[in-house]
């Protein structure tokens, strides 16, 4: 059966050119980037070049880029790297930020509005003299809603507080420029933009004091110990360049496809509720709740119809808890338990959207006759 993959916020397929760029670094160029011999220097040159190119894409300097083992590690490095004291985050963060902040001794979780956005005035009120870090994601993985990052970062700068953003769902989808946003720390993860899994980066503004999460060798300028994942880094940066080249056209195309899907759902399925901001969102994501359904029923039913979607966060699979993101936005428990995220990507077409629409209509109808 033909499959339609509509879960790109969980992960994306590896871009063929990114795979091609990686292969030599698994095979011939297997050196350790810290070794002084020719094999090591080869790997070092690849990692250094990747760093310069990624810095260029972010509008950063090469010395400000630290390669990590993915989005979770980048987020944890930022959150645990600041001194003891108060941290502020939002209640709709990815668990990589939310659970890390819960491990700190003193954390404030800002509420969000019905559209999922943080109110800058709430942030102003929450900052205290002992606040060490504010961490607010730039785009939400479940709803796609984007936050007013420039405004939030400016408040922090004015108050002398470090500002981190989890840009894992933004990078590759919308322009991400560290100086335009005015952030001090920023996380990305390769596998969310058609790069390999298990590799990411943390931007650390020059002059920012941050304790490492991992201790060992002096890799990454003593910011992150451990032999560099040379093939992964090469693949990530190749994927980042491809995403940057495609971003404008692909963003416009995906926004149209998701709007078509959203309009179709609203017009053909009564009792459907759109979650998240309808316009201030990344172009590939829409989220809907369907009255009288559960996400297990929706996910399994759509999977049988050949369509891969998610209830929101992939990490929530196996847990019957409703999405913390939707609950924080004031969605009822019942509707939060009936939510589906559609996150489209490069391979999706108009025909896919029509098929998704037909399948959702069918599955919702079937679930409602059972319930």
Ligand X SMILES: *Cc1c(COP(=O)(O)O)cnc(C)c1O
The residue annotated as part of the active site, out of 101, 156, 293, 315, is 315
**Which pair of structure tokens corresponds to residue 246?**
């495609």
Per-residue contact track with ligand X, 102 to 141, x per CB under 6 A? -----------------------------------x---x
SS3 of residue 113 by DSSP: coil
Determine the Cα–Cα distance for residues 296 and 271; give it in Å rounded to an integer: 18
Helix 71-81 and helix 95-103, axial crossing angle in degrees, nearest 10: 30
Q: Is the dihedral of CA 343, 346, 350, 355 positive or negative?
A: negative
In what helix (H) or strand (E) does residue 275 lie, and over which residues does it extend?
strand 272-275
Q: How far is the CB of 192 from ligand X (least distance, A)?
A: 6
* By the rule CB under 6 A, 169 interacts with ligand X: yes
One of 189, 239, 240, 247 touching ligand X (CB under 6 A): 189
* By the rule CB under 6 A, 233 interacts with ligand X: no
Q: Burial level of 267, CB count in 10 A (0-12/13-18/19+)?
A: exposed
Q: Burial level of 259, CB count in 10 A (0-12/13-18/19+)?
A: middle
315 belongs to the catalytic site = yes
Per-residue contact track with ligand X, 196 to 225, x per CB under 6 A? ----x-------------------------
Residues in the interface with ligand X (CB under 6 A) total 16
* By the rule CB under 6 A, 272 interacts with ligand X: no
Q: Which is nearer to ligand X, 133 or 364 (CB)?
A: 133
Residue nearest to ligand X (CB): 71
| Residues within window 46-105 making contact with ligand X, judged by CB under 6 A | 70-72, 75, 94, 96
Q: What angle do CA 38, 43, 47 make, to 5 degrees?
A: 145
Q: Burial level of 130, CB count in 10 A (0-12/13-18/19+)?
A: exposed
Q: Which is nearer to ligand X, 189 or 356 (CB)?
A: 189
271 within 8 A of 291, measured Cβ to Cβ: yes
* By the rule CB under 6 A, 149 interacts with ligand X: no
Q: Which is nearer to ligand X, 68 or 272 (CB)?
A: 68
Q: How far is the CB of 166 from ligand X (least distance, A)?
A: 5
Q: Which is nearer to ligand X, 172 or 297 (CB)?
A: 172
* By the rule CB under 6 A, 240 interacts with ligand X: no
248 within 8 A of 208, measured Cβ to Cβ: no
Q: How far is the CB of 97 from ligand X (least distance, A)?
A: 7
Instruction: Name 109's bridge partners.
Output: 89
* By the rule CB under 6 A, 168 interacts with ligand X: yes
Residues across the chain: 371
Determine the Cα–Cα distance for residues 241 and 237; give it in Å rounded to an integer: 6
**Which pair of structure tokens corresponds to residue 124?**
């102003």
* By the rule CB under 6 A, 344 interacts with ligand X: no
The residues that touch ligand X, with contacts defined as CB under 6 A, are 9, 70-72, 75, 94, 96, 137, 141, 166, 168-169, 189, 191-192, 200
The catalytic residue positions are: 315
């Amino acid at each position: 059966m033909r499959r339609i993959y509509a879960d790109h916020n969980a992960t994306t397929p590896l871009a063929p050119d990114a795979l091609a760029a990686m292969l030599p670094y698994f095979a011939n160029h297997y050196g350790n980037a810290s070794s002084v011999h020719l094999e090591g220097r080869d790997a070092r040159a690849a990692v250094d070049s990747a760093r310069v190119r990624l810095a260029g894409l972010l509008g950063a300097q090469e010395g400000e880029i630290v390669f990590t083992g993915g989005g979770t590690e980048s987020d944890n490095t930022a959150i645990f790297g600041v001194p003891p004291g108060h941290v502020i985050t939002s209640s709709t963060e990815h668990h990589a930020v939310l659970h890390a902040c819960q491990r700190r001794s003193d954390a404030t979780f800002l509420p969000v509005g019905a559209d999922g956005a943080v109110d800058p005035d709430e942030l102003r009120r929450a900052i205290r003299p002992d606040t060490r870090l504010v961490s607010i994601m730039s785009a939400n993985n479940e709803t796609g809603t984007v936050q007013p990052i420039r405004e939030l970062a400016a408040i922090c700068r004015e108050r002398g507080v470090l500002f981190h953003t989890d840009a894992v769902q933004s990078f590759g989808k919308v322009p991400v420029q560290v100086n335009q946003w005015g952030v001090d720390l920023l996380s990305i993860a390769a596998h969310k933009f058609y790069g390999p899994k298990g590799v990411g980066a943390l931007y650390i503004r020059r002059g920012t004091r941050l304790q490492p999460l991992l201790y060992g060798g002096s890799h990454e300028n003593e910011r992150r110990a451990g032999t560099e994942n040379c093939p992964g880094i090469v693949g990530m940066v190749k994927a980042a360049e491809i995403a940057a080249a495609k971003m404008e056209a692909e963003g416009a195309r995906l926004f149209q496809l998701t709007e078509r899907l959203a309009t179709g759902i609203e017009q053909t399925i009564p009792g459907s509720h759109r979650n998240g901001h309808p316009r201030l969102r990344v172009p590939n994501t829409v989220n809907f709740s369907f009255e009288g359904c559960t996400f297990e029923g929706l996910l399994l039913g759509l999977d049988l119809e050949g369509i891969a979607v998610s209830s929101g966060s992939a990490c929530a699979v196996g847990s019957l808890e409703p999405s913390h993101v939707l609950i924080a936005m004031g969605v009822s428990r019942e509707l939060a338990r009936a939510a589906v995220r559609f996150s489209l990507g490069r391979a999706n077409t108009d025909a896919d959207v029509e098929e998704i629409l037909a399948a959702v209509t069918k599955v919702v109808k079937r679930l409602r006759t059972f319930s």
